Amino acid sequence: MQVLKNGLDSLKDGLQDGAEFDLVVIGAGGAGLSAAVFAAIDGAKVLVVEHTEYVGGTTAWSAGTTWVPCTHHSARVNSSDTLADATTYLNHAVGDQAPAALRDAFLKHGAEAVATIEAQSSMKYRPYLKHPDYISDLPGSTLNGRALEPVPFDGRFLGDLFPLLRPPIPEFTVLGGMMVDRTDINHLLGMTKSWASLKHSASILWRHLRDRLTHARGTRLVMGNALVARLLYSFSQHAHATLALKTSVDALERDASGRVVSVMLSSATGKIRVLAKRGVVLASGGFNRDPALRAQKLPGIPEQWCPAAPGHTGKALALARSMGAVEGQGAQSPAYWAPVSLRKRSDGSTAVFPHFVMDRAKPGMITVNQAGERFVNESTSYHLFALGMQSAMQAIPAYLIADAKALRQYGMGMVRPGGKGLAPFLADGYLTEGNSLQALADQLGISAEGLAQAVANNNAFAQTGVDTQFQRGVTAYQQNIGDAAAGGRNPNLGEIIEGPFYAVKLYPGDIGAANGLQTNEHAQVLDAKGQAIDGLYAVGNDMNSIMGGVYPAPGITLGPGLVFAYLAVKNSGVKKASA
């Protein structure tokens, strides 16, 4: 693989003006790299263009979960699942908020896409033993089998490419760059209670200590970093693969027939035109860091609350619109969401921490607005939670509340479990502490009466196991992210009684675009008449989500990103052209 790390002529030869490729992929996140790997498998000459200095996009910061129903992995944990069940589920969850034909194409070709990339590259998945669909009370939902995770990867195999992989969010690592997933966290917390946990913990800790002798961070990669690393390694094994970093796309060009046949590229080292004989795949990550589109689609939500990676500037979308492309319509929301907390780092940057599953759903915690009142089911999906913040009164910011016991047990955002090392978080205001609920409310500037009532109600619910306000803990999904081992009647409910009491401010953060370019079932970009723009494809968050702004399951961005990358490459005909 040819790698241009610092622009178009960063190698001795660089890229020549007029260079020819079968496929040009714009964006090196999960969907873009998937398209590049599928094309390379078919023998195509592929160029991947990435605006930033890193490979991976937001995928590298994600859990890496990939939702594809009824793959060959499903039988290991859920042999009874069927495509008919998955169709029923999505029809109920998404309905007419996105075209059914695209959902059908995704389900029909999903298993084929996963099998192909696993058989012919280093991409490897495994099923979660239990990872329920998020709206698990709908018909057709499952508890497991549809959500796949990337198998951990040894980053040392990347060699000189390892520094090109976007590092994980520092707050998601421990001990100076050691990546951990949920399995690792559970073992680390239980290492004094279980021989198996001690053995697992000792193994990953020793590996990390050895890594730090030769690397800036750990090379045992998990979650999204493992997924991107596997794709990058797979792409690098092909002789006709080229990766250009710190490079922008300035224009898409058509021939006389209207087909997209070339792109204009620029970097600090120059400008060139390259040919794309079989097409251009847009996978630049969506609109979320385009100031104008944010103001239009996400009014009142500052970019500083977005926990997604930089690079998705919306420029590629603008170029497509200039060629007649249109955006999808009718979605529940233009973006996908999660509650986030913010903290200033020592280098002056701001850490934006998404609260997915580790704290807010656990017993001994509630979330309140400025009136001190609960306004949402704390154990619902992060997407619905953040939408609830936006629709409720006085809920931005909201306040995640916990007592000392819950803080020790689960941590709160960037505050790790154990209850130690709180001083820096208290000093900079990330964490607020009060010896009483009254004192905590006074420090937060919220209603003490409202908070006292909310806690009293919660404590009564914890004793009965029934939340009569928001029905917390009634679905399989909610129960799964609670804590059954806590011993309560409801795994999501626990009394808040042990002082001191703590709070962390929460804001609604957009974690990815749901609104993108309208495409057909081949990932071809469509114009206002519903006609395909020949030679132009969109995948990942550049493609209008087939989920219609609904978040029905874990990995519903990466799953379709993979499958439609596969379908785009098939439609482009690169295998036939390169034969």
**282, 285, 288, 289 alpha-carbon torsion, rounded to 10°:** -90
Give the integer Cα–Cα distance in Å for 455 and 437: 9
How much is the pLDDT for 377? 98
**Residue of 461, 560, 458 whose CA lies nearest to 501:** 458
How much is the pLDDT for 579? 55
Q: pLDDT higher for 188 or 245?
A: 245
Mean pLDDT of the chain: 94
Which structure tokens are listed for 339?
Answer: 């509650």
How much is the pLDDT for 208? 73
Counted domains in the chain: 1
Average pLDDT over residues 484-495: 96
> For 392-516, where are the alpha helices, taking DSSP H only?
404-410, 423-427, 437-444, 448-464, 476-480
Query: Does the residue 5 lie in any domain?
Result: no
Query: Does the residue 476 lie in any domain?
Result: yes
How much is the pLDDT for 178? 79
Say which residues have a Cβ less than 8 Å from residue 462's Cβ, sequence separation at least 6: 363, 488, 489, 490, 493, 494, 495
Q: Would you say 499 and 435 are in contact if contact means Cβ atoms under 8 Å apart?
A: yes
Query: Does the residue 219 lie in any domain?
Result: no
Give the integer Cα–Cα distance in Å for 488 and 340: 27
Query: Does the residue 394 lie in any domain?
Result: yes
Query: Does the residue 469 lie in any domain?
Result: yes
Query: Does the residue 19 lie in any domain?
Result: no
Please write the tens of the pLDDT for every residue from 448-461: 999 999 999 999 99
Per-residue pLDDT band for 202 (boundaries 50, 70, 90) equals confident
How much is the pLDDT for 404? 98
From residue 92, alpha-carbon distances to 62, 132, 522 in Å are 27, 16, 24
How much is the pLDDT for 360? 97
H/E element, 11:
none
What length is written for the chain? 579
Please write the tens of the pLDDT for every residue from 225-248: 999 999 999 999 999 999 999 999
Please write the tens of the pLDDT for every residue from 271-294: 999 999 999 999 999 999 999 999
Average pLDDT over residues 94-116: 97
Please write the tens of the pLDDT for every residue from 408-446: 999 999 999 999 999 999 999 999 999 999 999 999 999
Give the integer Cα–Cα distance in Å for 92 and 81: 17
Say which residues have a Cβ less than 8 Å from residue 443's Cβ, sequence separation at least 6: 432, 433, 434
* CATH at 348: 3.90.700.10
**Residue of 414, 232, 230, 235 whose CA lies nearest to 340:** 414
Q: If you write DSSP's letter for every residue of 120-166 in order, what string do you get?
A: HSS--EEE-SS---TTTTSTT--SSSSEEEEPPEEGGGGGGGGGGBP
Give the integer Cα–Cα distance in Å for 113 and 135: 25
Please write the tens of the pLDDT for every residue from 49-78: 999 999 999 999 999 999 999 999 998 999
Query: Does the residue 88 lie in any domain?
Result: no
407 is in which domain, residue-wise? 337-510
Q: Is 425 left (phi over 0), alpha (psi -120 to 50) or beta?
A: alpha
How much is the pLDDT for 237? 97
Query: Does the residue 25 lie in any domain?
Result: no
Which structure tokens are listed for 363?
Answer: 């017993």
Per-residue pLDDT band for 576 (boundaries 50, 70, 90) equals low
Q: Would you say 245 and 161 are in contact if contact means Cβ atoms under 8 Å apart?
A: no
Which structure tokens are listed for 335?
Answer: 């973006």
β partners of residue 325: 527
How much is the pLDDT for 7? 86
How much is the pLDDT for 190? 76
